[in-house]
A and B are shown apart, each in its own frame.
Chain A
């Protein structure tokens, strides 16, 4: 069965330090992977998706199929990056007619001044 694992519940770093939020997935096919972010008192929203291979707010994520990982990275953390981050996987079942979108348990990032 498909599964998304975020091993860290909480990650605390100082402003300007590098950040890496870990995400591992379990899926035998070719999944679509996403990072979503939830800032305080705001809706959950998409941060980035692996297929677009872009950098959003300084964050990047590379899909490593060999390690089944999709870690989120930023070289210099800012205080406004403090939020809840969720890794998500979307897939199509065999035949391409069904699928769903599943999430990890989330990592709370706290960036201290």
Chain B
């Protein structure tokens, strides 16, 4: 069953801890993205990657880090430096830039 999978669906973190959100796709897509979705803010781009071993900062990269060691995986780490990490995080992938993006179901992160 092809698609893009984010896990876990819900995640709780204690303040001051790093946490990693998983994003896996078996669509053989080159491009992958991470967005943060907040009420009234739409989708804001955190990081994106066009190819393995390469990624670029988006508009709100501070306090986040990513890696792209494999084509199918693009994990996002929310570090303790992120001031307001409680949010809904969306991962997406696409065949390349300028093409349709396919979205995961999202991960809701809550800092307690």
Contacts and interface: CB of A to CB of B under 8 A. Distances in A.
A34 B101 CA distance: 10
A105 B102 CA distance: 18
Interface stretch (A12-20, A56-64, A74-82, A91-99): A91-99
Interface residues of B, number: 26
B45 A86 contact: no
Interface in A64-113: 86, 88, 90-92, 98-106
Main DSSP-derived SS at the A contact region: strand
A49 B44 CA distance: 20
B40 A105 contact: yes
A103 B101 CA distance: 12
B11 interface: no
B102 to A, nearest CB: 8
A106 B69 CA distance: 33
10 contacts: A9-B40, A45-B103, A49-B100, A99-B97, A99-B98, A100-B45, A100-B48, A101-B92, A101-B94, A105-B40
